[in-house]
Amino acid sequence: MSTSSTSASSVLRVLAMIMGSTHHAAVADVVFHNGSHGLCMSESTDTVSAMVNAYYHMQLSVTLRAEVPENEIAELRWHLGSGPRPQSLLALSDEVNVFLRGPAYRRGSDPDLMVDLSSGVDGKLVLTAWQEPAPDEVDRLEALFCWLAARADATASNDNGSVCVGRLRFSDEPEWTNTIVVRSGDRVAYPRIPGPPASKLLPDGDSEVTTWDDFAARLSVTLMRLCEGECITLDTDGEGFVQFLGWSSDEVIGHVSLGKDPLRLPDGEAAMRELGWHEPDNLFDWHRRIQRPVSGDEYQGAAAATVSALRGVLDVRSPQQLALSSFSNNFGEEPDVSAMGMTPTPRQVEGYPHAD
């Protein structure tokens, strides 16, 4: 079997397991946020298992506004485990009930686990907590972070309107260097514990890209791991380029610029229509949307349409002619392009729409 066909069949198998097309018991234990699945593949058995013993140290400290209604405070106390369940719940689901009290249960932890909601010196309620959550537990707390930010005292807001509700550090980090920040009311930013690189999901993932079939298999895995606020750009030798944006947690947008070559445009536009790309609008050039959750076939389809656009419209003869660059709007994070088999370059296309 050729290298390219091996890559294609392997990525289909991996995508099927991750996206749920094939039942696999270990997939239920994947706990990493927003596409960054903590997966390990065994080369001998081709089985997938979740990483274990990955956790955070988390501190929360939020002063609430004095005018927060008492019924909302009662709901908060219940979620924190310090009050009875209210007769009717207002905003938060049971999923945020992850707080623990008592001795720390992680090796190397100093303080006891605690959570407290009590009056501060000015009479306003202050939430403080020390917890050691697993990654999936932090994900489940995002709704609580947004709830707290919306009700935080005005002094908690930064100049850009964001609100810091606490701090995180990885289990093996000695210093508190990362914050939990809520932006625009419902966007939570904090560093995620990374899973194995996407290159480990392919048997030849660490090697350089070879054929177009190999490129398509690699792009499928890369798109699967693309998170909100991340961008991947593939520049051609000419003016054209292909770009994929993690537009939201539920959507990836790919768009293709044909450049300004007048000889290419009429035939190229007709070809793009035939390939299923949507015509340019006020935000994107020729584009297509991937709405999550999706099957592995849809990632494969997007990769195949990209290859067809690069070869048939932009006249790129081989993947080696492409220049890969990427960026992330998520502080301290970078898109996982390890499976692409290409060395990223600092060169980026100007004028791309930002995933804000």
pLDDT in tens, 3-18: 433 333 333 333 333 3
Question: Among candidates 302, 290, 277, which has minimal Cα distance to 217?
Answer: 302
Q: Residue 192 above 50 pLDDT?
A: yes
Q: Say what the pLDDT of residue 110 is.
A: 55
CB 189 within 8 A of CB 183: yes
Partners of 126 in beta bridges: 63, 118
Task: Report the predicted TM-score, pTM, of the whole model to 2 decimal places.
Answer: 0.54
CA 156 to chain centre: 26
pLDDT band at 310 (very low <50, low <70, confident <90, very high): very high
Tell me what pLDDT residue 123 has: 85
Token pair listed for 31: 């706990």
268 or 199, higher pLDDT: 199
Cα angle 289-269-210, degrees, rounded to a multiple of 5: 65
Q: Are the beta carbons of 223 and 244 closer than 8 angstroms?
A: yes
Query: What pLDDT digit, counting tens, does each position of 36-90 carry?
Result: 222 222 223 333 333 334 678 889 999 999 999 998 999 899 888 888 888 777 7
pLDDT of residue 243: 95
295 residue type, one letter: S
The token duo for 318 is 């081989």
Which tokens go with 246? 């993690």
Residue entry with tokens 């303080």: 111
212-256 residue pLDDT tens: 999 999 999 999 888 888 899 999 987 789 999 988 767 889 999
More confident residue, 104 or 157: 157
- pLDDT for the residue 80: 87
Nearest to 324 by CA among 224, 192, 236, 249: 236
- Between 26-30, 126-130, 177-181, the lowest mean confidence (pLDDT) is in 26-30
What average pLDDT does the structure give for the chain?
A: 75
Residue 22's pLDDT is what?
27
Percent of the chain with pLDDT over 90: 29
